[in-house]
Every structure is written in structure tokens, then in C-alpha cells.
Amino acid sequence: MYEGLDIDLLFAQLDKGTVPRDLDILDDKILACMDDSSALTLNGPRTTDLIMQLVPNQKNFLTVLRCVRIWAKRRGIYGNKIGFLGGVNWSILVAFVCKLQPNAAPGKILRKFFWWMKHWKWPMPLKINNIHDAGLKKKVWDPKKDPRDGKDLMPIITPSYPAFNSSFNVTKSTRDMMKIEFERADLMCEKLKKGELSEWSKLFDNTDFFVRYDYYMQIEISAGNEENLRSWSGWCESRLRKLVELLEWASTPSGQFGVLTNIAPYPKCFEESETMQQHFIGFAVDKQKAKGELPIDVDYFEKNEVNWWDQKTEDMVINCQVIKWKDLPPIVHKDGPEKAKALRKQIRGGNKKERKSGAGLIDSSKVSATSGSKRVAPDSPAPEVKVEPDSAAKRPKVESAPAEESAMAEESALAKESEAAKISATAAETTNSEAR
């Protein structure tokens, strides 16, 4: 902690008596005789520096990256600890599109970013340079040599040696939610391009997560004092993606799987006090598969994923329970419960085809919880949410842009500067709004 800010300091040990001022961290030889932990630590700044070298226009890259990160935070899909994507992941994705559009203005790059992310055929790996082995006996991501690498759902490969999947925390549910958000963003960019929308700011609307579902898993993390909560919550948050996976595999007593749909964790926590935090996971229920009560046994998660921590003390507690939408604490509704009710009513009455961000509101008149097993009785099926299926299909060709872009390639320098200024202003405005 420094002046109120939490700072994680990582240490990498070099095989040198002193650190020279002209040290080139991109030289692979620096990793020789370095332990795996130090190599992993150094991979962060090595990746960042290499990305900046690989992008054709650093100013445009940083402008688009800033917008994408704000968009991801607003839409509730930012944070690799919970199973979404973090800073380095988004940086690699934006760098990939920047390399495909080296002379484009930021606005066009942003539009193409969402187009590419919508159409990318995961789990095909996305990378911005060729993977190489420097011969230093470090593990390099390679599904042919290590079958575990082939099980990654959304591999985003770091450009520096040793290459590895920077998004290994992604689960099926978080990947599917990101696909839905990419589709929504691409649709809005098309409307902006056609003049059907006039403001970029609409793209950055806050997520409707806390009015979208009828059911939520509420996770309360508490400790005896602030210091204990800081360490305990850090550990628990690192395990929440395992809870998401547990919900993905939830089954009825008869062995019916896939009863929970549209599962989505909210990446931010809510601090009820200095000694308690709350996290939430939303989900819908498939009535046809559930056929009655749905057991969600969180005891396994608490016992086998969390409570075995060797630094846990008696005052450290985690409690998971299923709650209905109406029982959500007021703190989650940024604009107040009444506005949340109005928005929820609007979503329920809207066109289902326009509910692109994982709708799935269902009647939650019957929700009960018992010790050990939380039982939910669904009343109506969840609307189907279309997502791109996993496919080993070939990647769309990247050598040439679509024909429709040929005319846009003739944009004047003045138009490019105007669009860059507009999108930068939007990013600044949304940033200031977040700060407030």
C-alpha cells in the first residue's frame, strides 16, 4: 500500500552482479540461467515493450486501446482474475487489429476491432508474431507438444519468448459473454457507420448486469479486520472462476447438465464495510432441463477451492447463496433501485431480438436455499442466446481488407484527425465519468 494505492511488486532475479543502465530486456539471452518464476515476472515488461515495437502507429494504438479498455470495464467484461480479459490481453488484441490496419484512423481501427473479435473462430489462437523457441529450455505454448495447451478456450499468445497463453483463466461462460458483447459492439459500430447512431458514447453504455437476471449467486467475503480482508479477498477472488465452472457443470439429481445458462460473473466487488466484500454471478435457468428444483451445491467450492488456504484464520469467512433479483442489495444499483426497476421493466417489455447482452430474465417467484445445497425452482425457460460455436474452421484471410473498406481507405488526413479527436474526447469523457 502506497498513499492509499494497492501496488503489487514483482521480483525477477538476473544472473548479474549489477543491473546495467542499457539493459535490453527484449534480448532472449537475458533469460538464460533465470528461474521460471523470474522469467514469468519479466515476461510482463518484455511483452509490453515488444507490443509497442510491433504496432505500426503507437499513438493510434494507445488511443484505441484506451477506448477498448473503457468499453470492456463499462460492459462488465474486464478482469482476468474472474475469467475475462485483463490489460495485456486487450493490448494484444488491439495490436493485432492495428497491424491489419496500419494506415487507418482510430475510429476505423475500433470498428474493425469489434468486427474481428466478433468473427474470430476461437479456440484458434490469436497472436501478433510467430512463436519461436530460443533454445533456453523454457516452456513455450505449443498444443502439439503439450495437450493441455490444446484445451485453452480463448488463447491469446504473448509475443515475447517464452510465448504462453495470457488468457488461460477464460471459462466457457466468460468467453460466451465476451462474444455477445463483441456482437453488440460490432452492431453499434455498423449503425455509427451508416449514420443510424450519431454518438460514440452509446457504445460505452454501462452493462445491464444487475437488471438482466432473475437469479444471482451472492458471494460474501469477510474477515476480522481490514488487513485480513485484503489478503483473504485476494485469495477468494482468484478462485471465483472455479465457482463459475461449478455452475457450468451444475446438474439435476437425474444427471441432466446444462440447466444453468447465460452464466456471467460481475468483475467488480462491492465493499459493504471495511471488513466485508460482496461479489455476484448472474445466471438463468433452463426449465425444460431443470424439471423442478435445481440443486446448486456450493459446499464443494467453499471446502475444496477456498477454505483449504494455508494462511486462512478463524475470522476469514466466505458465504455463497442464491438470491432473487428483488433481494439484491441497493449498493449494486448505481442510479438507485427505482431506476433499476424501470430499466428492468423496459428490458422485459422490449424486443427479445434486441437483447444482445445475454438477456435471460425469468420468473423468480420460487427461490429457496438450504444449508449445503441452494435449491432453485424455475418457472419459465430462459431465452436462447446465440453465440458462435467452437470451431476449427480456418481463420478469415487477413491479407486484404473487405472490399467495402476500399473507399474508406481514401479518407483525408483532416477526416482522420477529426475522427481521432472525436473518439479520444469520448474516451476522456467516459474516463471522467468513471472517476466521478
Amino acid letter for position 337: P
Give, in order, the Cα–Cα distances in Å from 149 to each of 55, 65, 223, 372: 27, 27, 37, 35
Give, in order, the Cα–Cα distances in Å from 50 to each of 129, 369, 424: 10, 51, 24
Q: Band of the pLDDT at 15, cuts 50, 70, 90? A: confident
Range from 10-19, 158-167, 186-195 carrying the lowest mean pLDDT: 10-19
- The answer to whether 418 and 426 are in contact (CB under 8 A) is no
pLDDT digits (tens, 9 = 90+) for 98-107: 999 999 999 9
> Could you tell me which CATH number the domain at 209-376 has?
3.30.70.590
Task: Please tell me the predicted confidence (pLDDT) of residue 373.
Answer: 36
Nearest residue to 92 (alpha-carbon basis) of 82, 108, 120, 81: 120
* pTM listed for this prediction: 0.80
Q: How many residues does the chain have?
A: 436
**Alpha-carbon span 173 to 119, nearest angstrom:** 18
Is domain 28-206+400-435 classified as CATH 1.10.1410.10? yes
pLDDT digits (tens, 9 = 90+) for 187-206: 999 999 999 988 888 999 99
Domain boundaries, the chain: 28-206+400-435, 209-376
Cell numbers linked to 311:
494462511
Average pLDDT over residues 30-46: 89
